[in-house]
Structure 1
Amino acid sequence: MKLVVQVKLMPTPVQAAALETTVRSVNEAANWVAATAFEAFGLKGRETPLRALCYGELKARGLGAQAAQHVIKRVADAYATLRANIRNGNLGPQGARHRLKAESRAIAFRPDAAHTYDDRCASWQYDAKTISIWTVSGRVKSVRFVCSPNALKQLAEHRKGESDLVFRDGKWFLIATIDLPEPEAFEPVDFIGVDRGIVNLATTSDGTNHSGRRLGRYRRWQAKKKAELQAKRTRSAKQLLKKRARREARHATHINHKIAKQTVAVAQRTERGIALEELQGIRDRVTVPRDQRARLSSWPFRQLGAFLAYKARRAGVPFIEVDPAYTSQRCPRCGHTERGNRPTRDLFRCRRCGLAGPADHVAGVNVRNRARSAWVFVNMPDPPPA
């Protein structure tokens, strides 16, 4: 399975200046290639004709052979992504303002956008924790990097493919791809059902509850600070808003990682699988009060599910998604389902058999029960040929 490892570079001032010049130069070149492709082919710029059209000029601009190839491929991939978004309706229907804007001009890259390196442009010295990297000023050697011992071991044993040089918040990072061997999943003795929510971020069928109360206070405080900055309408305020947004996203990612790590560890120790509600299109299906729409739309539910899925695969823990319909309204004991079974957000009380308990816990139990049936069905042997 493919994962990414991020290492922090510790360049000297001279090395940092060379990296900054390189990133700006390749992004200027990428903007020129994107504009040239738009003039020549519209949105249909592809890698082979772009290479014939732009390679010589990129070499004349001081880019190395591999750097020029990466710039051309990056522009071609960007146009391919744009065409796919238009085809799938992600930018709106024909004539939509957002779609017209995207179709009417060339793709543009930020001056500090990431640049891709392969093994010809960057070489790693794991023992010394340094890298040698290509720049427009020549090869820069002995650039120090720092990472955890576990990440260093993974890089040394499983790094594969390209790496991205990223400049973020005044710091340099190199994001490398690793290809880990995927262990074979064991046969689960049971499942842990996980119910995701806003007040309680995740509640398992075992009764483990990851409360979102503390996170809610943090996000309300962040929203207050954002409103204060938005009222100023200055350039520095906009920069601070972007910085705060990135910080809040990192905080959410950290919490989701912790929840997923703990859940997978319990499942692995008890030899159980993990079951999750399939929340595809939840924002289209669920109607919430106006004051709660921002909370529903901003919390990365999908990210938590993705973290649970990949951590489970990495640990060899079976993972399955089940139908989420009525998991919070169905009684796990008698099967009675109606909206009245959940008189409040936190309480479940079956109106037929009287079973009562925390609503999120009951939903987790229903997810677990559905996973039991679904796992048997998925792993049912094929019928013998007639």
Structure 2
Amino acid sequence: MVKTLKLRILPNDEQIAALNHMSEQYRQACNFVSQYTFDNGIELNSFKLQKALYADVRENFGLKAQMAVSVFRTVTARYKTVQEQLRQNPYHFKDEYTGEWYDIPKDLSWLRKPIIFRRPQVDLVLKRDYSFDFATHQLSLNTLGKRIKLDFVDGCWQDYFDGSWTFGTGKIVQMKGNWYFHIPCSKESDEELIREQVQHVVGIDRGLRFLTSTYDENGKCTFKSGNAILRKRQKFIDRRKELQSKHTWSAFKALKRLSGRENRWMSDINHQVSKTLVEKYGSNSLFVIEDLTGVSFEESNLSGTKKQNREKRSWAFYQLEQFLTYKAEAVGSKVLKVSPKYTSQRCPKCGRIHKANRHHDTHEYICDKCGYRSNDDRIGAMNIQFLGTLWVSGDEHPRFGIRKEITSAE
């Protein structure tokens, strides 16, 4: 389990100048290494990069030894993040002759230019670049000059110093004139206990009309409406179109502010939804969601209007998954990802799998075999929940298939 401890630090004017200088030099060093990485085949090995460029980074950017080493780790970590993002979003294209959709996996060779580090930043290693002085209640940070001690805003940080958490490499962040120090904290969790002691199995179907549709072992289904969210997102879209039509520098800056505001709002919504689910079911719960890695939100997989399809492609489903995962682990629960195949096409009563049984226009599922009828989002949550019960019973990779129809989920 990994969480990020966010401390607001309170530097004076002299310390701000030192932090600004260090962050900018670190940023430039990252771009220098990123360009070299891109020009030399994008081999993500920080040790080889360090061997080739360490002396240049120290000499050209004035970084101290540990900071110079951290530059190579920062660059390779960013490329690995982009690599994972590309893997989860393959290139989808439609064959103009057959009308079939195909996927082409993406890798870093699809990049047309090196990754650029635009925001000043610096990564600091525990006990070498940063430490806590508990006697003075201060944070000690290394800079390119002398070491500085900073006051920080008190909060719940004491909860992380009970000996069960391990601190990682911290990051200096500046936002709207305020300075923050982000520290990743990790804690071991025992997943094997969940299978043996699971008390609740909750199937979660994610969408836009209903942000989440949940179905539990007691047959209770709840919906989180997405109508208000869609209306607010439309306001963001309309404002973005208005600014894009101006083609001015001030409009460009306004677009950046708007993007940040929208992202923060989306994150807040996902935090609220995931927190509500975890608080409702508590510990020893299994939250089951569809594995949307590589799922195409293209014409063949989308049934709504052009506007609805655009919304599906842009909503932060993966972020909701991340938030739910770490919040569940924090209380001793687990998130299980299952195959999304046929979860919206299968009848939870008789196991019949038939695509035409789902009626998108009326948001209903009507089984042509047994006559079972229900809301289509509820059907999805029921099938997802059933896959979770199979995992609890010992099936490591539960999934539905056409040839092997599984009987009632209730």
Structures share fold, TM-score greater than 0.5: yes
Task: Tell me which moved more, 239-248 or 314-323.
Answer: 314-323
Please state whether the residue corresponding to 2:112 is helix, strand or coil: helix
| Residue 354 of structure 1, CA deviation | 3.9
What residue in structure 1 maps to residue 293 of structure 2? 280
1:369 is the counterpart of 2:386: yes
1:236 aligned to 250, 259, 269, which one?
250
SS of equivalent to 2:221: coil
TM-superposed CA distance for 1:372, in Å, is 1.6
| 1:121 and 2:129 correspond | yes
**Could you list the per-position Cα deviations for residues 248-285 of structure 1 after superposition, in whole angstroms to 9, with x for gaps in the alignment?**
1222122112222222233336x542222222322256
Going from structure 1 to structure 2, the CA distance change for 1:35 and 1:358 (only over 3 Å counts) comes to closer
Return closer, same or farther for 1:272/1:162 CA change in 2, 3 Å cut-off.
closer
* Cα pair distance change 1:30/1:324, threshold 3 Å: closer
Measured in 2, the distance between the counterparts of 1:201 and 1:327 equals 17
Tell me which residue corresponds to 1:148.
Answer: 155
Aligned match for 1:209, one of 223, 234, 255: 223
Partner of 1:9: 9
Q: Distance in 2 between matches of 1:159 and 1:304?
A: 25
The alignment covers a number of residue pairs equal to 370
**Structure 2 unaligned runs (5+)?**
93-103, 398-410
Rounded Cα–Cα distance in structure 1 between residues aligned with 2:89 and 2:210: 34
Higher share of residues assigned helix: 1
Query: d(CA) in 2 for partners of 1:326 and 1:91?
Result: 23
Pairing of 1:132-147 with structure 2 (within 5 A): 132-141=140-149, 143-146=150-153
- Offset at 1:80? 7.1
Q: Give the C-alpha shift of residue 132 in structure 1.
A: 1.6
Instruction: Tell me how far 1:349 sits from its aligned partner.
Output: 3.4
The SS at the match of 1:274 is: strand
Residue 376 to residue 88, structure 1, CA distance change in 2 (3 Å): closer
Could you report, residue by residue, the CA deviation over 1:221-268 in whole angstroms, capped at 9, with x for unpaired residues? 111111111111122222221222122122212211222222223333
Deviations 1:178-227 (A, max 9, x none): 12231442522451111111110101112211111111111111111111
* TM-score (normalizing by structure 2): 0.77
d(CA) in 2 for partners of 1:160, 1:63: 23
The TM-score with structure 1 as length reference comes to 0.81
Distance change in 2, residues 1:10/1:272 (3 Å):
same
- For residues 292 and 364 of structure 2, what CA distance do their matches in structure 1 show? 22
Please list, as runs of the form range in 1=range in 2, the aligned pairs for 1:58-69 lying within 5 A after superposition: 58-60=57-59, 61-69=61-69
Unaligned runs of 5+ residues in structure 1 are: 381-386
Matched, 1:179 2:186: yes
The one-letter amino acid of 1:14's match is E
Moved more, 335-344 or 73-82: 73-82
Distance 1:12 1:287, change over 3 A: same
Distance apart, 1:91 and its partner CA: 9.3
**Partners in 2 of 1:87 and 1:366 — Cα distance?**
27
Instruction: State whether residues 88 and 293 of structure 2, in contact with CA within 8 Å, keep that contact through their aligned partners in structure 1.
Output: no
Residue number in structure 2 paired with 1:326: 342
Look up the SS of the partner of 1:135 in the other structure: coil
Q: Aligned pair in 2 of structure 1 residues 367, 23: CA closer, same or farther (>3 Å)?
A: same
Q: Distance in 2 between matches of 1:88 and 1:275?
A: 19
Distance in 1 of aligned mates of 2:262 and 2:115: 28
Corresponding residue number in structure 2 for 1:313: 329
> Residues 10-51 of structure 1, C-alpha deviation per residue, up to 9 Å, x if partnerless?
322332222111111222233344556777x56458544544
The percentage of aligned residue pairs carrying the same residue is 27
Structure 2 SS opposite 1:21: helix
**1:63 deviation in Å?**
2.2
Question: Are residue 162 (structure 1) and residue 169 (structure 2) matched?
Answer: yes
CA distance in 2, matches of 1:131, 1:35: 33
Q: CA deviation at 1:87?
A: 11
Aligned 8 A contact 1:43 1:83 in 2: no
Q: C-alpha distance in 2, partners of 1:211/1:87?
A: 30
Provide the C-alpha distance between the structure 2 equivalents of 1:378 and 1:108, rounded to a whole number of angstroms.
Answer: 44
Q: Which amino acid aligns with 1:198?
A: L
SS in 2 for 1:223: helix
CA drift at 1:90: 7.0
Query: Residue 23 of structure 1 aligns with which residue?
Result: 23
Q: Distance in 2 between matches of 1:89 and 1:202?
A: 22
State the distance in 2 between where 1:302 and 1:78 align.
18
Whole-Å separation in 2 of the counterparts to 1:14 and 1:251: 34
Kindly state the Cα deviation for residue 379 of structure 1 after the two structures are TM-superposed: 6.8
Secondary structure of the structure 2 residue equivalent to 1:164: strand
Residue type of the partner of 1:287? L
Give the match for residue 349 of structure 1: 366
| 1:193 lines up with 2:210 in the alignment | no
* Structure 1 residues 14 and 369, CA gap change in structure 2 (3 angstroms): same
Q: 1:163 Cα deviation (Å)?
A: 0.6
1:254-265 paired onto structure 2 within 5 Å: 254-265=268-279
Q: 1:303 aligns with which of 319, 324, 333?
A: 319
Shift of 1:134: 1.7
Distance 1:87 1:253 in 2: 22
